[in-house]
Amino acid sequence: MRSTLIRFVHDQRGAAAEFALVLPLLILFVLGTIDIGLYAWRINQAEKATQMGARWAVVTNPLANEIASTSYVNVNVGGTLITQGDRIPAGALGVLTCTSSACTCTVSPCPGTTHNPAAYAALRDTMRRVLPAIQDSNVVVEYRGSGLGFAGDPNGPDVAPIITVRLQNMTFTPVTLVLFGASVNLPDFAYSLTAEDATGTSAFF
């Protein structure tokens, strides 16, 4: 009886089968842990890329040329005539939305919609320094009135809009779904700053 019990305790013939049963769950757990870390890293990349894009946008040439070139001296806004040195009211600029290919006046009034492709490319490339996966279709920039700036400013654009850089429609492919060619959608990101000099083609971070 004692020898039978000892043989039972030391019997390891089922170890391989047990390990084979546990191994898939262990692999899934390890890959899942890696995916969570990679997903968090990608979220952080996207946030930082959006912040850098906004910072770039407020100190370099706007994507719509008229933001920088339009003078508001002797312009009537909401029934009020703006003269030299007057503050630019928020209602002087509605919402101007720019993508990689065009600028559109989403909410009137807008000074103009002449697209600046070089400024867009510089902005996109700045964001790609943090997240290389960014494509043209992922970046949208909005300009809206802030109530800042003054008519006839000799040192820069009259209007100082709030600039919002949006990063949208980004995806993430988890390691566990690579073989299936599947991916998950990342949330959209947006970051807003008030325009500063809004002129030039370079910035320091």
| pLDDT tens digits for range 114-168 | 999 999 999 999 999 999 999 999 999 999 999 999 999 988 899 999 999 999 9
Indicate whether 189 pLDDT > 80.
yes
CB 180 within 8 A of CB 31: no
Provide, for the chain, the percentages of residues in helix, strand and coil under a 3-state DSSP scheme, each rounded to the nearest 5: 40, 20, 40
What pTM was estimated for this model as a whole? 0.84
Work out the mean pLDDT of the chain and round it to a whole number.
Answer: 89
In whole angstroms, what is the distance from residue 150 CA to residue 112 CA? 18
Preceding amide of 174 cis, omega within 30: no
- Could you give the C-alpha distances from 55 to 69, 96, 100, in angstroms and in order? 21, 18, 18
User: In which band, very low, low, confident or very high, does the pLDDT at 33 lie, cut at 50, 70 and 90?
Assistant: confident
Indicate whether 12 pLDDT > 60.
no
- Could you give the C-alpha distances from 35 to 27, 45, 172, 180, in angstroms and in order? 12, 15, 10, 15
Indicate whether 8 pLDDT > 60.
no
User: In which band, very low, low, confident or very high, does the pLDDT at 16 lie, cut at 50, 70 and 90?
Assistant: low
Query: What is the percentage of the chain residues whose pLDDT exceeds 90?
Result: 68
Of residues 130, 123, 121, the one with CA closest to residue 43? 130
